[in-house]
Amino acid sequence: MREIVKIVNSLQAEKYMKNGLNPIKVYWNVDKIVYEFDKEASKPLFDKWRKFELK
């Protein structure tokens, strides 16, 4: 089973999708939308996100 990361920041999730990474699952949890992404595939995008380089 692959590892996943859960993203609740909609801007971050939008940037991931804009850069070609589709979520595995999207669902509503209490008061926010949760996006689940493959951990390994999202790592390069997360690194760019932390450096404010993700366009």
Q: pLDDT tens, 12-48?
A: 999 999 999 999 999 999 999 999 999 999 999 999 9
Please check whether residue 55 lies inside any domain of the structure: no
Number of compact structural domains in the chain: 1
Round to whole Å and give the CA distance between 11 and 2: 24
Please check whether residue 22 lies inside any domain of the structure: yes
> For 1-55, where are the alpha helices, taking DSSP H only?
10-18, 39-50
Q: Quick one: pLDDT band at residue 50, thresholds 50, 70, 90?
A: very high
Strand partners, 28: 33
Whole-number pLDDT of residue 54? 96
Query: How many CB atoms sit inside 10 A of residue 3's CB?
Result: 7
Domain that holds residue 10: 4-50
Chain-centre distance for alpha carbon 53: 15
In the predicted model, what is the mean pLDDT of residues 1-14? 96
Whole-number pLDDT of residue 1? 81
Please check whether residue 17 lies inside any domain of the structure: yes
Round to whole Å and give the CA distance between 28 and 5: 15
